[in-house]
Amino acid sequence: MPAVLVIGAGTMGAGIAQVAATCGWDVVLQDAATGAVERGVAGIRAQLGRLVEKGKMTDEALAAALGRLRTAGTPEDAAGMIADSQSRRTEGRSETCPTSEACPALEACSPLVIEAVVERLEVKRDIFRRLETLLPGSAVLATNTSSLSVSAIAEGMRDPSRVIGMHFFNPAPLMPLVEVIAGQASATEAVTFGMETARAWGKTAVRAKDTPGFIVNRVARGYYLEALRLLGEEISTVEKIDRVMKELGAFRMGPFELMDLVGLDVNLAVSTSVWEQMNRHARFTPHEIQRNLVAEGRLGRKTGCGFYAYDGPSPTPAVPGRKGDLAMTADLRRAVHAFADAAGVEDRHDACRLIFTRVLCAILNEGALALEEGVASEADIDTAMKLGTNYPHGPLKWARRIGVSVVGDALRALNTAAGDDRYRPAKLFAAL
């Protein structure tokens, strides 16, 4: 049976370990923090127990999954356990790999490491450099980073070809998407191994180039940042912006609701990382409203207050906002209404249509720019945004449905009004 070492027993690491164990893999879970692995295992046991209660898992399957899960206190101990598991399989004393027939890349069942620790470059580098000396040369080292460069993480290793990105989404047992990222030195075999592993674990795998934010965390920036700009410009309120994007755009959650759920600190950290790696382009600039809330410790649901307050029977807006003067030029107004009409928006209010157009145009343009830069294929970009963020449509399919010329006209009008070049159209939307 294949074996995986998961470094980091927090929410993401424990979730990944749970997925692997329930899919028949030997798992070693290691974390340097005192008590972390115990908490991680307890969380896995509780999650699987709830599946049994709901009739989605048998008691026998639960016991088997937990039986495949071991813990280690140090990387050295963990590497020894992984080597032992690999040795037992090689000698034929382990059960047959349940996925190798369907996944040729897994036939050799090379050991896999997935690191899911804090988003700090040096910490991740140190972990991989240490593990490189402890594990066999066939081991694939995968980072679960959400925004750091896979190539940068692999720098300084004797064999950087072993390093890939496998970006799971939270909660890992439920979210169906995994972004598999090839660094500059990543071997084709290692990337294929990552893709096949994700599929063997029941996930949809998409391949992404090693660029800031990969697919999802790059393309999704517009949903958050444009909403923040609308709030900062006093065009509308937190509650109304959320309502417009849910009702007119069919998004499951509004941008402020979603930031509160993810955590304002987490969302800001990703925005800042992408902004800095993208040469601080205006379209990625983090917003002061969010910076101030994070500085105040208002991080969203986990602290009881963010853009909404959660101390009552239902969330209530907690950030002041007012509806100011839209001040749209005639050209901008025409472009906004043409875009909204082509998108099937029935609401005729200028403010609602402007909110919808600005936020959606930012998303559609970023998806087209990612395609233009070779970050991923059109199909993978659309799949990633639907599965990784629950968007109602993939951005490129959505843009083509609205009409690329209509989207281009709206982007040019918005870019003129913004004055900071953040809406400069991708080539897909260039004037014909």
Residue with tokens 């403010």: 351
* Other Cβ atoms closer than 10 A to 401: 13
d(CA 198, CA 69) in angstroms, rounded, equals 18
d(CA 98, CA 20) in angstroms, rounded, equals 12
Is 167 catalytic? The answer is yes
Residue by residue, DSSP assigns 59-93 as HHHHHHHHHTEEEESSHHHHHHHHHHHHHHHHTT-
Is 217 catalytic? The answer is yes
Within 229-344, strands assigned E span 308-309, 316-317
Q: Which of 237, 415, 403 is nearest to 319 (CA)?
A: 237
- Catalytic residue among 85, 110, 146, 365, which? 146
- Catalytic residue among 115, 132, 179, 226, which? 179
Alpha-helical regions (H) of 134-263: 150-154, 188-200, 216-219, 221-232, 238-247, 255-262
| Total count of residues recorded for the chain | 432
Tokens of 248: 């007119």
- CA distances from residue 66 to 17, 28, 39, 60, 253 in whole angstroms, order as listed: 10, 11, 14, 10, 35
Is 179 catalytic? The answer is yes
- Catalytic residue among 149, 217, 236, 365, which? 217
Query: What is the DSSP-derived secondary structure letter of residue 300?
Result: B
- The two beta strands, 163-168 and 177-182, are antiparallel
What are the residues whose beta carbons fall under 8 Å from the beta carbon of 419, sequence distance 6 or more? Answer: none
Residue with tokens 């909660």: 171
Q: In what order do the strands lie in the sheet with 140-143?
A: 69-72, 26-30, 3-7, 112-115, 140-143, 163-168, 177-182, 204-209
* Other Cβ atoms closer than 10 A to 99: 20
Catalytic residues: 146, 167, 179, 217
